[in-house]
Structure 1
Amino acid sequence: MSSKRELGRLGENLAADYLERRGMRVVDSNWRCPQGEIDLVAFDAEILVVVEVKTRRSLRYGHPFESITDAKMHRLRALAVLWARHHGFYSSPLRIDAVAVLSAGREEPVIEHLRGVFR
């Protein structure tokens, strides 16, 4: 795994697979607009879920969740509303989740999922 971008893409793919195995339906990834980017968009039953994915090779610089700031959460909330409006989901309940992926390359990745990290 040579680049940060490749590591991030791997983490997002692993996170999407993980969420789908747990019954969520991933409907979009890497959605971009002028205000920013959403890593994953999924539905958990009728709940629209915007997912921030953080991937690291090790814990040397802290746990992946530690890099999710309050400002990022506020931006994700605004992006979630924009995504919903753009795709015609005006009245869907909304949740923001975070997924941490630790992937050292040689071992099985460790994936953690936090539901409802910001309301």
Structure 2
Amino acid sequence: MNARGALGRYGEDLAVRLLTGAGMSVLERNWRCRAGEIDIVAMDGDALVVCEVKTRRKGAFEHPMAAVGPAKADRLRRLAALWLERHGGPPPGGVRIDLVGVVLPERGAPLAEHVRGVA
């Protein structure tokens, strides 16, 4: 695994801890299909959550929360629809797309922020 992959994996591990600490249950990590990848699929009560994780080092060009623009949001919606198609359809609570942004400072603990319903 290269440095970028390791950074992403570390951010996803932190995101899983953040989500499970908030009472969600993780169903799948790094679900892939021809259209792309979903970082985390989880349940929040009776709602399915498709979660994108963005990890950046402090001082990076773009803050992680700025990384999901309209094109990325559309792709996440398409991926969520494909996941649902292959896993029996939407749950009673519907589907939500969330973002976890992780910033790694030069020193100290990472900062993780969870934003619900970004797309």
- Tell me whether the two structures share a fold, i.e. TM-score over 0.5: yes
Contact 2:15-2:53 at 8 Å conserved across structures: yes
| Residues 31-76 of structure 1, C-alpha deviations (whole Å, 9 max, x = no match) | 0000000000000000000000000111331311112121111010
Match of 1:91 in 2: 90
Is 2:116 aligned against 1:115? yes
| Cα shift at 1:81 | 1.0
Give the SS at the match of 2:20: helix
Match of 2:24 in 1: 24
Is 2:54 aligned against 1:54? yes
Match of 1:70 in 2: 70
TM-score, reference length from structure 1 = 0.92
Give the counterpart letter for 2:108 in structure 1. Answer: E
Identity %: 48
Runs of 4+, deviation exceeding 6 Å: none
The CA distance in 1 between the partners of 2:16 and 2:59, in whole Å, is 22
In the superposition, relative to structure 1, how do residues 26 and 105 fare at CA in structure 2: closer, same or farther (>3 Å)?
Answer: farther
Q: Which runs of 5+ in 1 are unaligned?
A: none
| Cα shift at 1:11 | 0.2
Give the counterpart letter for 1:26 in structure 2. Answer: V
The CA distance in 2 between the partners of 1:58 and 1:75, in whole Å, is 27
